[in-house]
Amino acid sequence: MYLAVKQVAPKEDYKLLLTFENGEKRLFDMKPYLDIGLFKQLKDIKLFNTVKISFDTVEWANHADIDPEVLYEQSEPADSKLVHD
């Protein structure tokens, strides 16, 4: 299923709080990616926190991005407390 990412917020422990076009809020864990290619640079928390929306997905200042389908399929529904932090 292809759903565009409409909002992103970096969270503790290299997680992303994502809001998809259907209004669903999901949490994506970046830790498994931090030893791969450009994503290695995101271990620098300042760089990790540069995440923003780019077209239908997220992108960092180093131009790393992830397919929105991967973001949706490998994320989990966000805890309501986390959504309001």
Contact status, residue 8 vs residue 51, Cβ threshold 8 Å = yes
CA nearest to 37, candidates 66, 5, 10:
66
Structure confidence at residue 2 (pLDDT): 81
CA distance 39 to 76: 20
Q: Which two tokens stand for residue 48?
A: 């990790």
Residue-wise pLDDT tens digits, 21-62: 999 999 999 999 999 999 999 999 999 999 999 999 999 999
pLDDT band (50, 70, 90) for residue 82: low
**Alpha carbon 66 to chain centroid, angstroms:** 8
Res 17 pLDDT > 80: yes
Contact status, residue 29 vs residue 15, Cβ threshold 8 Å = yes
Contact status, residue 8 vs residue 18, Cβ threshold 8 Å = yes
Would you kindly state where each structural domain of the chain is located, as residue ranges?
Answer: 5-84
Which CATH number describes the domain made up of 5-84?
3.30.2020.10
- What are the backbone angles phi and psi of residue 78, rounded to the nearest 5°? -75, 140
